[in-house]
Structure 1
Amino acid sequence: MPLAPTLAVIGGGQLARMMAQPAIALGLPLRLLAEAEGVSAAQVIVDQQVGNHLSLDDLRAVTTGCDVVTFDHEHVPTEHLHALVADGIAVRPGPDALVYAQDKGLMRAKLTEIGVPCPRNALVTTPEQVEEFGLPCVLKTTRGGYDGKGVWMVREISQAQEAFDAAAAAGVEVLAEELVDFRRELSALVARSPSGQAAAYPIAESRQVDGVCSEVIAPAPDLSDELSAHAQQIALKVAGELGVTGILAVELFETNDGRVLVNELAMRPHNTGHWTQDGAETSQFENHLRAVMDLPLGSPAPRARWSVMGNILGGPNDAGRLYDGFPHVMARDPHLKVHLYGKEWRPGRKVGHVNVFGDDLDDCLERARHAVAWFRGDLGDHSE
């Protein structure tokens, strides 16, 4: 008899990789469907198969003998997830929930139905309809976009055609949204189990560079208790109404007039929650595993007054082996934690992150930024 139920994870990226450590501590066997040999998670999860998440045969092969399946990404076709459910596999989050993270058009319609505040939006099929919607605006493909991909800022109608060409090539629709006048971006992270238990992490501020998260501060500085509680309640409401199991990240705009609007949903561990690995009593990765296995959730309470996560993004120049940055950053800051993803350096690619925590926000920011700059090679050669 197995010592514990086996959990299948679809997708071999860094999120699956970071599930491995809490799974080891919990004695929870993981089985991985990796898109290729040697990808990030395949370097640390022994029980693995190489396959295509678009193939139902590959999905069935990797989940045979598993009790539960969860995800590193949201790109498994909804009809395949329903087929796995029919096979008796516990799919978490389930297809009826995950579809709202897969399709932005469906997500906007559902959030409006349940009374969750969103930017003004509409599905559009022609540049003329974009003009009628109103410029400037943001155009998004309803499926497939992430980290700034599949998103276009349209200030002149001539800029709209690129979005329609991309959508036609991918066989998806185009969503128009108002260009929100916002102060900053926030992230509300919650965990929810099938039995309905939920845990909410402090609201974090995320900072972007070219549409990619570069830095996260938890809790968000200068956020009123009222708006913080409101943002948490939005995330808890979305998780409950949609029946989410696992981690739900709700990306929000804090507007200049003191409101919050939902921007995106992710139903998996999320970049804006990486600070929890070292800054919270229970990381998002452990709580995701606890949730999908329907175990009692761990405390989301912070360990320190402030936590800062800095993404290590590949720069224009090859910084060499990231490992060679360890002597400097570890000697300079013994309290800093480094998480590398086992990925080759590529411009704009997320190859790792650092976490720092403490009582002084400015100090935490300086420490995180210095370490990121050093790993990127912005401050000198790693051999110095």
Structure 2
Amino acid sequence: MVGGGQLARMTHQAAISLGQSLRVLAADENDSAGLVAGQVVIGHHTDLAALRAFAAEVDVLTFDHEHVPNEHLRTLAAEGFVVRPGAEALAFAQDKLLMRERLSAQGFPCPAFTQVSEVDDVAKFAATHSWPVVLKTARGGYDGRGVWMVESDAEARALVPELLAAGAELLVEQRVEMRRELSALVARSPFGQGAAWPVVETVQDGGINTEVLAPAPGLAEPLVQQAQEIALRIAAELGVVGVLAVELFETGDGLLINELAMRPHNSGHWTMDGSATSQFEQHLRAVLDYPLGATSLRAPTVMANVLGAPETPEMGPDERLHHLFARFPEVRVHLYGKGERPGRKLGHVNLTGQAIEDVRERAKLAAHWLSHAEWLDGYQIH
């Protein structure tokens, strides 16, 4: 796996039960996966020589992020290395404009959009679709980065020329009036087998996913089926191998596609404790061309991200865990071995249970305690 972050760390854990050894290409031995994986190679994902040497020692090359230059992946594939997902598929997760053009051409439901080559492109788009509009960088950007809500022509003229001068490729999209955000997580093998997990609701704060509710509460069955069908069709038509997350907007008129991720995804962390097969095991099964695992729901599950507090608590992580388990012995904790800093994803917690609002409160309390060493006020735990 190229990338030494928390996704590689959790994929390493899943590999153990499959009898596999996950080799990791990490930028630093202290990266999240570098701290636990037995086979860690130090190298950068933009270095073709490092990628080539790494690929020569493994059976299959896969990724915990989408930032490997696509031309490097095409070179590796041309040299006979097995790369999953392939460069042709991964391009649509790396480039939002390319993704929008391809999916719209194939009839998938997407917000209105256009490429931005000059500042007047934004004003022309807004003249048809009204202000505010959403400006995005086509490449890079995650957790709210590379996305701007532009309220007026004056804001566009202050922002767009600077971004274009810096070399950013831009697109502008219609601002969507949505009820909530959803995620349809699926997997596909080289053989063409597909599997879909229950559709989940994702809760964002400042562009960062803070909670996942599995399954999405109150989502009508026709929309569940539509979301799963959209994701499975995209996986098949783009030739995805591995896990695919399709982020969706639920609107008054139906579903719209937001973004794609071709790897294990934050919206699938709940599967570690709430599904028959975790997304990390499934990703390995897919890229190794094993039969895919069952995706059935064990119990309704809430995932809450543990985000770094504004100030690092005096109480150490070990003592925080001690107090947490004393209060909530049923909580499942997954920490990433990262140094604490404000807003950083340090880990997540999963809780299961039938009373989803109570489970959600417990998950929020647990995650906040782990990051802040203080209990949130106003929550009534039964």
TM-score, length of structure 2 as denominator length: 0.95
**Is the Cα–Cα contact under 8 Å of residues 150 and 163 in structure 1 kept in the other structure?**
no
**Is the Cα–Cα contact under 8 Å of residues 320 and 373 in structure 2 kept in the other structure?**
no
- Which blocks of at least 5 consecutive residues in structure 1 are unaligned? 1-8
> Counterpart of 2:201?
205
1:221 aligns with 2:217: yes
Specify the code of the residue in structure 2 equivalent to 1:341: Y
Kindly state the Cα deviation for residue 167 of structure 1 after the two structures are TM-superposed.
Answer: 4.7
CA distance in 2, matches of 1:51, 1:270: 23
| Structural RMSD (CA) | 1.3
Kindly state the Cα deviation for residue 46 of structure 1 after the two structures are TM-superposed.
Answer: 1.7
1:62 aligns with 2:54: yes
CA distance in 1, matches of 2:375, 2:221: 42
Moved more, 159-168 or 54-63: 159-168
1:187 aligns with 2:180: no
Kindly state the Cα deviation for residue 372 of structure 1 after the two structures are TM-superposed.
Answer: 1.0
Specify the code of the residue in structure 2 equivalent to 1:308: V
Specify the code of the residue in structure 1 equivalent to 2:360: L
Kindly state the Cα deviation for residue 125 of structure 1 after the two structures are TM-superposed.
Answer: 1.6
Specify the code of the residue in structure 1 equivalent to 2:90: L
> Counterpart of 1:242?
238
Kindly state the Cα deviation for residue 258 of structure 1 after the two structures are TM-superposed.
Answer: 3.9
> Counterpart of 1:78?
70
Match of 1:370 among 365, 377, 382: 365
Kindly state the Cα deviation for residue 354 of structure 1 after the two structures are TM-superposed.
Answer: 0.1
Kindly state the Cα deviation for residue 327 of structure 1 after the two structures are TM-superposed.
Answer: 1.2
> Counterpart of 2:322?
327
> Counterpart of 1:3?
none
> Counterpart of 1:5?
none
> Counterpart of 1:105?
97
CA distance in 2, matches of 1:20, 1:44: 8
CA distance in 1, matches of 2:259, 2:313: 32
Q: Any runs of at least 4 consecutive aligned residues in structure 1 with deviations exceeding 6 A, and if so which? A: none
Aligned residue pairs, count? 370
Q: What do residues 26-73 of structure 1 show as CA deviations (whole Å, max 9, x unaligned)?
A: 111211110112110101112111111111001011111211100010
Question: Superposition pairs for residues 83-232 of structure 1, below 5 Å?
Answer: 83-134=75-126, 135-160=131-156, 161-169=158-166, 171-232=167-228
> Counterpart of 2:303?
309
Kindly state the Cα deviation for residue 378 of structure 1 after the two structures are TM-superposed.
Answer: 5.8
Q: Residues 158 and 323 from structure 1, CA distance in 2 versus in 1: closer, same or farther, beyond 3 angstroms?
A: farther
- SS of corresponding position for 2:341: coil
Q: Residues 67 and 140 from structure 1, CA distance in 2 versus in 1: closer, same or farther, beyond 3 angstroms?
A: same
Specify the code of the residue in structure 1 equivalent to 2:181: E
**Is the Cα–Cα contact under 8 Å of residues 93 and 246 in structure 1 kept in the other structure?**
yes
Q: What do residues 110-149 of structure 1 show as CA deviations (whole Å, max 9, x unaligned)?
A: 1011111000000012221101100210000000111100
Q: Residues 15 and 30 from structure 1, CA distance in 2 versus in 1: closer, same or farther, beyond 3 angstroms?
A: same
CA distance in 2, matches of 1:166, 1:340: 36
**Is the Cα–Cα contact under 8 Å of residues 183 and 200 in structure 2 kept in the other structure?**
yes
Question: Superposition pairs for residues 336-351 of structure 1, below 5 Å?
Answer: 336-351=331-346
